[in-house]
């Protein structure tokens, strides 16, 4: 096990099998967020924060599109089993303890967004010697950078005054999504020889 | 011979449902130092202190704050009370021995808060590059750092902090290796967790009115050129903590615990030994540390104002 992707192949790339597995996971998670945002948007036409929802929708779509283009894909039969399990995990799970159903679903979308954008740090997987101009390397760095900005909308919403009465439920929902996303991400990484929790050197 | 039997590989302490990574080195009895990290730090950065102080028979305790490094990172909310509670658990684990608590910057505030509440469990306190209130400059700088973190990520925050907190002398030989210098801190610190730590200041209440409750020997350390937490903020600590002395570290900036580790470790050892041998008398003194470890600590010239950067004579009382 290594803390980082690699070793790099003879062309200096992250091995295509690792690229494929990582990109498939990210496409699944960010694609799910894009789909849920697409469904949520029409109901928010009069809300001031539709600006943020709209931006999030297009950013998540951009992440999917970028990965489809920048990844050196290779056939991976295990994805036939892995992808459905990932997709099942992203299904709506309205925050428990919140009686307003619409609000409970919105909290869940934000919680899932926070988990995907905060707990997953794809650029932190890159080894020191990863070539800066490689498309996959650039894509992972961009996704992590943009995730840092995107999660601000989730933070503002989840820590906002409106949800103060539901603070425990919100906290539980976000912690649950973080554990879920983190566990799936870790399992996927282990399957390609990467363990992110290795002690620092 | 020093007993290193307490060296343990990354044990964890439970705080509610969260795990805190800590490390204890050195002898199991006798005095011990507990070292509290600054905002973007992690416990490995105290390695020099561990090496230096263990050989002088001090126990050393380092840990990653909740939200830092290998400790758990609460997703949305971290209160400063949580850090104080963790310190309480950690110090209780050390048993009945003289405990000295030292904290840098953000960690200095946690140390001050702990000393206000639980001073009776300590033998001495060392607040370093820290403050008890948020005057406008520091408040606005903190806000700018938070915005920088949000807009530019952890790397941008590091880019801001490195030149603010370290000297040209330290930076110059590393200019072509700065990415390597920053990398471990970038790897172990997650943006959302750093943001949570910073946002624990959004409802920060000044500690100054409670500082008089710290009735224990206190050595306040301040870098000569620290403009993030300048002299006046340390002067507030000196003026309100009864048995304190302010020691100015020559040519040092905010992060002198990194830049001048050997000197700072020596000052920590000397302070603890003075306290244990009942030689310490803070008395509100202002002193100047030596340039190198082992040198003489001298009084700040009485006729000059230690709050000025030019040799201005003190105003008549």
B41, B67, B192: best to mutate for the A interface, most A CBs within 10 A: B192
CATH number at residue B60: 3.40.50.1820
pLDDT average, residue stretch B33-62: 96
Q: Is A149 on the interface with B (CB under 8 A)?
A: yes
Please determine, for residue B90, whether its predicted confidence score (pLDDT) is greater than 60: yes
A170–B187 CB contact, under 8 Å: no
Question: pLDDT for A105-158, tens place per residue?
Answer: 989 999 999 999 999 999 999 999 999 999 999 999 999 999 999 999 999 999
Report pTM.
0.93
Whether residue B171 is contained in a domain is answered as yes
A28-42, A150-164, B124-138 — most confident range: B124-138
Please determine, for residue B306, whether its predicted confidence score (pLDDT) is greater than 60: yes
Cα separation, A180 vs A184, in Å, equals 6
Please determine, for residue B71, whether its predicted confidence score (pLDDT) is greater than 50: yes
* Residue A11 banded pLDDT, cuts 50, 70, 90: very high
Please determine, for residue B317, whether its predicted confidence score (pLDDT) is greater than 80: no
- Residue numbers in B near A128 (CB within 8 A): 180, 183
Please determine, for residue B84, whether its predicted confidence score (pLDDT) is greater than 80: yes
Number of domains in chain A: 1
Q: What pLDDT was estimated at residue A50?
A: 80
B71, B149, B191: best to mutate for the A interface, most A CBs within 10 A: B191
Q: Is B150 on the interface with A (CB under 8 A)?
A: yes
Whether residue B262 is contained in a domain is answered as yes
- Residue numbers in A near B192 (CB within 8 A): 114, 118, 151, 155
* Residue A91 banded pLDDT, cuts 50, 70, 90: very high
**C-beta separation of B304 from B311 below 8 A:** yes
Q: What pLDDT was estimated at residue B6?
A: 45
CB pairs under 8 A between A and B: 51
Label each residue of chain A as H, E or C: CECCCCCCCCCCCCCHHHHHHHHHHHHHHHHHHHHHHHHHHHHHCCCCCHHHHHHHHHHHHHHHHHHHHHCCCCCCCCHHHHHHHHHHHCCCCCCCCCCCHHHHHHHHHHHHHHHHHHCCCHHHHCCCCCCCCCHHHHHHHHHHHHHHHHHHHHHHHHCCHHHHHHHHHHHHHHHHHHHHHHHHHHHHHHCCCECCCCCCC
Per the structure, the complete domain to which residue A38 belongs is given by: 16-190
| Beta carbons within 10 angstroms of residue B298's beta carbon | 10
A148–B76 CB contact, under 8 Å: no
Whether residue A163 is contained in a domain is answered as yes
pLDDT average, residue stretch B266-292: 97
Question: pLDDT for B1-45, tens place per residue?
Answer: 333 334 455 699 999 999 999 999 999 999 999 999 999 999 999
Q: What pLDDT was estimated at residue B9?
A: 55
Calculate how close chain B gets to A81, using CA atoms only, in Å.
30
Number of domains in chain B: 1
Question: pLDDT for B198-238, tens place per residue?
Answer: 998 888 999 999 999 999 999 999 999 999 999 999 999 99
B75, B157, B191: best to mutate for the A interface, most A CBs within 10 A: B75
Chain A 93-132, residues with CB within 8 Å of chain B CB atoms:
114-115, 118, 121, 124, 128
Strand order in the sheet with B99-104: B12-15, B18-25, B59-63, B32-36, B99-104, B124-128, B218-223, B244-249, B285-288, B298-299
Whether residue B230 is contained in a domain is answered as yes
pLDDT average, residue stretch B230-255: 98
B70–A199 CB contact, under 8 Å: yes
* Residue A200 banded pLDDT, cuts 50, 70, 90: very low
Please determine, for residue A198, whether its predicted confidence score (pLDDT) is greater than 50: yes
Handedness of CA B139, B142, B147, B148 (dihedral sign): positive
Whether residue B234 is contained in a domain is answered as yes
B192–A158 CB contact, under 8 Å: no
Whether residue B5 is contained in a domain is answered as no
Whether residue A1 is contained in a domain is answered as no
ipTM value, please give it: 0.93
Q: What pLDDT was estimated at residue B4?
A: 38
């Amino acid at each position: 096990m290594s803390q980082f992707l690699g070793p790099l192949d003879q062309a200096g790339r992250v091995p295509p099998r690792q690229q494929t597995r990582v990109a498939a996971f990210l496409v699944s998670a960010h694609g799910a967020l894009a789909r849920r945002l697409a469904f949520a948007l029409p109901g928010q036409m009069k809300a001031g924060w539709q600006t943020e929802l709209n931006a999030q929708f297009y950013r998540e779509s951009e992440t999917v599109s970028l990965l489809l283009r920048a990844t050196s894909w290779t056939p991976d039969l295990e994805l036939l089993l892995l992808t459905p399990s990932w997709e099942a995990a992203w299904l709506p799970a309205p925050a428990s303890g919140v009686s307003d159903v619409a609000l409970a679903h919105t909290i869940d979308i934000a919680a899932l967004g926070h988990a995907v954008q905060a707990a997953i740090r794809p650029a932190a997987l890159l080894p020191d010697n990863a070539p800066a101009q490689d498309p996959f390397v650039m894509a992972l760095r961009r996704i992590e950078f943009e995730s840092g900005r995107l999660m601000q909308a989730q933070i503002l919403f989840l820590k906002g005054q409106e949800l103060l009465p539901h603070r425990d439920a919100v906290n539980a929902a976000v912690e649950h999504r973080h554990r879920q996303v983190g566990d799936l991400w870790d399992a996927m990484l282990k399957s390609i020889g990467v363990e992110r929790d290795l002690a620092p050197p | 011979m020093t007993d290193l039997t307490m060296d343990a590989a990354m044990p964890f302490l439970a705080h509610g449902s969260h795990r805190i990574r800590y490390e204890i080195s050195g002898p199991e009895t006798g005095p011990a130092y507990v070292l509290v990290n600054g905002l973007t730090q992690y416990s490995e950065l105290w390695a020099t202190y561990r090496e230096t102080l263990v050989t002088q028979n001090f126990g050393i305790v380092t840990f990653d704050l909740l939200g830092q490094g290998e400790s758990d990172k609460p997703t949305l909310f971290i209160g400063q009370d949580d850090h104080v509670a963790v310190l309480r658990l950690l110090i209780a684990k050390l048993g009945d021995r003289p405990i000295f608590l030292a904290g840098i910057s953000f960690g200095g505030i946690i140390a001050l808060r702990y000393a206000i509440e639980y001073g009776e469990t300590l033998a001495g306190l060392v607040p370093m590059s820290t403050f008890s209130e948020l005057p406008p400059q520091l408040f606005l700088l903190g806000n700018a750092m938070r915005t920088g973190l949000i807009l530019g990520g952890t790397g941008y925050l590091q880019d801001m902090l490195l030149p603010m907190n370290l000297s040209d002398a330290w930076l110059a030989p590393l200019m072509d290796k700065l990415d390597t210098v920053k990398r471990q801190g970038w790897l172990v610190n997650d943006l959302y967790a750093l943001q949570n730590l910073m946002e624990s200041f959004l409802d920060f209440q000044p500690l100054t009115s409670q500082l008089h409750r710290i009735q224990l020997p206190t050595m306040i350390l301040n870098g000569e050129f620290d403009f993030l937490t300048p002299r006046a903020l340390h002067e507030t600590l000196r003026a309100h903590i009864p048995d304190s002395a302010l020691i100015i570290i020559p040519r040092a900036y905010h992060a002198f615990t990194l830049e001048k580790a050997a000197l700072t470790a020596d000052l920590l050892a000397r302070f603890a030994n003075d306290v244990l041998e009942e030689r310490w008398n803070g008395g509100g003194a202002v002193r100047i540390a030596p340039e190198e470890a082992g040198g003489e600590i001298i009084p700040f010239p009485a006729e000059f104002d230690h709050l000025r950067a030019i040799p201005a004579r003190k105003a008549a009382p």
